[in-house]
Amino acid sequence: MPISSKHVLFFKVLVFVVQVSYGQLRRVKHDEPAAPEQHSARHSGMWNGSRVGLRRACDAELEYRLTRLEVQVAEKTDRLVNELKDGNHKLQAIELQEEEIRNAIEGLRSEMNNAGGQVWQDEQRDAPSDKLAARIANLEISIKVVLAALRSLTGDVAGIRRNISAILAATGALHDEMTDLPTKRFISQALLDIRHGTYYPPVSHQMTASQQESCQPVNPTDCMDIRNKGTSSSGIYTIQPGYSSKPFMVFCDMEMNDGGWTVIQSRFNGSQDFFLGWADYKTGFGNIGKEFWLGLDHIYELTGHLVNELLIELEDFEGEKRYAQYSAFSIGPENEGFPLKVLGQYRGNAGDSLEYHAGQRFSTKDMDHDVWPEGSCARAHGGAWWYKSCDSSNLNGLYFTGEVPDNFIYKGMYWGTFRGPEYSLKKSRVLIRPRKDARSSATRERGT
């Protein structure tokens, strides 16, 4: 237990003072000129103070010692009280010290009772020394005052401690409530949305099934949701997946393959730099209407709890279009490295150049999650992908126009089974939409 060394020192001093004072009192008694009766008295354990002159000398000495003791106790009491009032000492130390003080005082009191008793005996036998007795009583009172002060101080300390925990509990609750308050930015965005007629109140995750029914409509959860509500034109929409804390904008493709696709990556002319770091790939970058990456956080919000289909559209500089479609696609959260968790059955005409990456974590030039121990695939291949060691596709790679120079093989925006790693494609789009069977099971899951 940590104890304030200052206080321990003080107690040692106090105990020492007490011991020395009484030791000296005793020595005064015992160092009388060595008369035979004195010795016998010492052996019998009693002090024969019948010789008045000797006793007077002794009284003077006792008085002097008492004065010193009184001064010391007063000084130390003031200091103790001040230090305790500072309140910058460990509570446990104070409590322990109160115990120590009490013991020291008990010892002092019993010694005093002995001395006092002898003085009283003396006084009954001889000239009474009321003054001395009164001072011993006073000393006892001042010690009682120290004790009382200590008790009230430790009482205060306990009260302060209770108040501190009450305050902590209160601020904790306040903090919890604050996280539920909408931010200023969210409110201004909502006001803008209302003005533009696109506002949908956010979904609360804590809502019960019945609340959910009565609070419809809310933000659409994805492009498929928008399509199912009757919108059939491609464009930019605001969505909020069930597990997203706030709405965001996406590009919806409503024509391709029955529509309802949310575009998570789009490249067609190289105007947007894609050789970026983790923070950009996490939150997304680019222009939703042009070239962009939606962001791994949003992709996780869309696919982490609801299995999606994945569609990859590719085009080379000769205008040849190919696609690769996967029956299931889902990525994990950031603390797992946004892994390509689920990749379903392939079909299409571009060939399967993603299967190799299934299960891998996402890597960027500044975040190496690949399984190539000696190097960074993202840096070596100029992209950001679910690299293994390293890739059979690299759709976030560098933008070239077709055939790449020898030293840029694997570094372009390539798809291994379409034009190969030495050819950088013209266009790439990556799209997702919930599987037809996924939503009902997800709704059931959320309702429970």
Q: Which range of residues in 46-54, 293-301, 324-332, 418-426 is near ligand NAG by CB under 6 A?
A: 46-54
Q: Which is nearer to ligand NAG, 37 or 445 (CB)?
A: 37
Tell me: does residue 41 bind ligand NAG (CB under 6 A).
Answer: yes
Contact yes or no for 398/382 (Cβ under 8 A): yes
Phi, psi angles (nearest 5°) of residue 377: -60, -40
Site string for Ca ion, 343-372 (x = CB under 5 A): -------------------------x-x-x
Instruction: Please classify residue 235 by burial: count the beta carbons closer than 10 Å to its beta carbon, then call 0-12 exposed, 13-18 middle and 19+ buried.
Output: middle
Please give the Cα distance from 10 to 35 (Å, whole number).
40
Q: Which range of residues in 2-10, 158-166, 292-300, 368-376 is near ligand NAG by CB under 6 A?
A: 158-166
Contact yes or no for 26/111 (Cβ under 8 A): no
Return the one option of Ca ion, ligand NAG, none that residue 372 interacts with (CB less than 5 to 8 A, by type). Answer: Ca ion
Residue 62: strand, helix, or coil: helix
- Contacting residue, 9, 12, 50, 172, with ligand NAG by CB under 6 A: 50
The residues in 249-288 that bind ligand NAG, with binding defined as CB under 6 A, are 269-271
Tell me: does residue 280 bind Ca ion (CB under 5 A).
Answer: no
| Distance in Å, CB of 118 to ligand NAG, minimum | 12
Residue nearest to ligand NAG (CB): 159
Q: Which is nearer to Ca ion, 385 or 400 (CB)?
A: 385
Tell me: does residue 200 bind Ca ion (CB under 5 A).
Answer: no
Q: How many CB atoms lie within 10 A of CB 6?
A: 11
User: Two tokens at 329?
Assistant: 């696609």
Site string for ligand NAG, 211-250 (x = CB under 6 A): ----------------------------------------
Dihedral sign (CA 226, 227, 230, 235): positive
Please give the Cα distance from 271 to 286 (Å, whole number).
9
Q: How do beta strands 292-293 and 402-403 pair?
A: unpaired
| Distance in Å, CB of 273 to ligand NAG, minimum | 11
Return the one option of ligand NAG, Ca ion, none that residue 156 interacts with (CB less than 5 to 8 A, by type). Answer: ligand NAG
Tell me: does residue 121 bind ligand NAG (CB under 6 A).
Answer: no
Phi, psi angles (nearest 5°) of residue 396: -105, 20
Tell me: does residue 163 bind ligand NAG (CB under 6 A).
Answer: yes
The residues in 370-409 that bind Ca ion, with binding defined as CB under 5 A, are 370, 372
Contact yes or no for 261/207 (Cβ under 8 A): no
Instruction: Please classify residue 134 by burial: count the beta carbons closer than 10 Å to its beta carbon, then call 0-12 exposed, 13-18 middle and 19+ buried.
Output: exposed
Tell me: does residue 117 bind ligand NAG (CB under 6 A).
Answer: no
Return the one option of ligand NAG, Ca ion, none that residue 368 interacts with (CB less than 5 to 8 A, by type). Answer: Ca ion
Asked whether the bond before 247 is cis by omega within 30 degrees of 0, the reply is no
User: Two tokens at 320?
Assistant: 């040849």
Query: Smallest Cα–Cα separation from 430: which of 340, 332, 305, 337?
Result: 340
Contact yes or no for 72/6 (Cβ under 8 A): no
Residues ≥6 apart with Cβ < 8 Å to 340: 331, 354, 357, 358, 359, 360, 362, 386
Q: Which is nearer to ligand NAG, 103 or 165 (CB)?
A: 165
Tell me: does residue 290 bind ligand NAG (CB under 6 A).
Answer: yes
Q: Which is nearer to ligand NAG, 72 or 118 (CB)?
A: 118
| Distance in Å, CB of 223 to ligand NAG, minimum | 21
Q: Which range of residues in 104-112, 138-146, 153-161, 424-432 is near ligand NAG by CB under 6 A?
A: 153-161
| Distance in Å, CB of 110 to ligand NAG, minimum | 23
Q: Which is nearer to ligand NAG, 38 or 394 (CB)?
A: 38
- Contacting residue, 9, 13, 37, 232, with ligand NAG by CB under 6 A: 37
- Phi-psi region for residue 319, left (φ > 0), alpha (ψ -120 to 50) or beta? left
Q: Which range of residues in 40-48, 307-315, 422-430, 440-448 is near ligand NAG by CB under 6 A?
A: 40-48
Please, what is the Cα angle at 79 between 73 and 82, to 5 degrees? 135
Residues ≥6 apart with Cβ < 8 Å to 121: none
| Distance in Å, CB of 35 to ligand NAG, minimum | 8
Q: What is the DSSP letter of 366?
A: T
User: Two tokens at 264?
Assistant: 């998570």
Tell me: does residue 118 bind ligand NAG (CB under 6 A).
Answer: no
Question: Alpha carbon 222 to chain centroid distance?
Answer: 33
| Distance in Å, CB of 343 to Ca ion, minimum | 21
- Please give the residue ranges that form the binding site for ligand NAG (CB under 6 A): 37, 41, 46, 48, 50, 156, 159-160, 163, 269-271, 290
- Please give the residue ranges that form the binding site for Ca ion (CB under 5 A): 368, 370, 372
